[in-house]
Amino acid sequence: MVKGRWVALGSAMLAAVGLGLPGTASRAEVAMIGALQTYTTTHEDTLLDVARKNDLGFVELVAANPGLDPWVPGEGVTLLLPTAHLLPEVARHGIVVNLTEMRMYYFRTPGEAPETHPVGIGSEGNNTPVSSTHVTHKMANPIWVPPASIRREKPELPAVVPAGPDNPMGLFALYLGFPGGNWRIHGTNEPYAVGRRVTHGCMRLYPEDIEDLFHKVSPGTQVTIIDQPVKVGWVDGELYIEVHPTKRQADELEETHHMTEDMATEALPIAIKAAGDAVARLDEPTVLRAARERRGYPIRITQ
């Protein structure tokens, strides 16, 4: 292993997939994008640093590497990078945000693999809504008018925060059509907030990600917000499962870097349904382990 370098883990984790297998759709589609990789830390690395270098969120990197101190992981530690993603079960149009995963998928071209980025989402009591809407308009160098609810929490805030590097919305924003007009996908002046449950309901991207997305997305683009902690998909004749921490567990990972066990009881029924006529190949102990550990990356569950 090379210090401070990335290593891909095997062609079996690549994205191309042939559906039309037992229990799956008849049309060939992409079911997984990316590939798992490893990264060996340097003395200066924190998991926040490694997450941003690899377009990952903080919580998903901590979940994939239990037992590490995210602030001082140490030199020469091999991290698993959860850079492979099963696609959620949803219509593949426009922008899709999976809240439990804290990840966005942008289906720019029908039938092609999407691009994906981690997102910061609403904290407890400020939940990002599960719903569908569209991009109403977009703005470079947005100003921020803090809602009354936020100014009550932080009375020191000005009535209007001007555009610029100190603006919490960053340098680019996509405005969404939810009632109230306060819901946006935007950048941030605090990149460490990406991939965490820390916002008042908006969705934050790394500055480099929102800038790229801003120039690709047009007003009218559909935005679908879902909440799918368990995803499955067939890849090269093998069935994979991906199980993410609950929101409560994500908060625990933030606070203590550990999470209390919470079995995803829906995982086995979902896997059995996806296996279909190939259910005899299903590795149930591996399914249950994935459901218990919730590491947030694809695991093969067929034999």
Q: Do residues 227 and 100 make contact, with C-beta atoms less than 8 angstroms apart? A: yes
Q: What does each C-alpha distance from 196 to 113, 145, 215, 234 come to in angstroms?
A: 25, 23, 25, 29
Residues 6+ apart with CB under 8 A from 47: 58, 61, 62, 65, 68, 70, 71, 73, 79
User: Which of the residues 85, 117, 200, 202 is marked catalytic?
Assistant: 202
User: What does the alpha-carbon distance between residue 118 and residue 98 come to, in Å, rounded to a whole number?
Assistant: 10
User: What does the alpha-carbon distance between residue 194 and residue 208 come to, in Å, rounded to a whole number?
Assistant: 12
Closest CA to 135 of 221, 43, 231: 221
186 is a catalytic site residue: yes
Q: Do residues 241 and 31 make contact, with C-beta atoms less than 8 angstroms apart? A: no
Q: Do residues 298 and 240 make contact, with C-beta atoms less than 8 angstroms apart? A: yes
137 is a catalytic site residue: no
User: Which of the residues 117, 186, 200, 244 is marked catalytic?
Assistant: 186
Strand pairing class (230-235; 238-243): antiparallel
Element (H, E) at 121: strand 121-122
Strand pairing class (197-199; 121-122): parallel
Helix (H, G, I), strand (E, B) or coil at 146: coil
Positions marked active-site: 186, 202
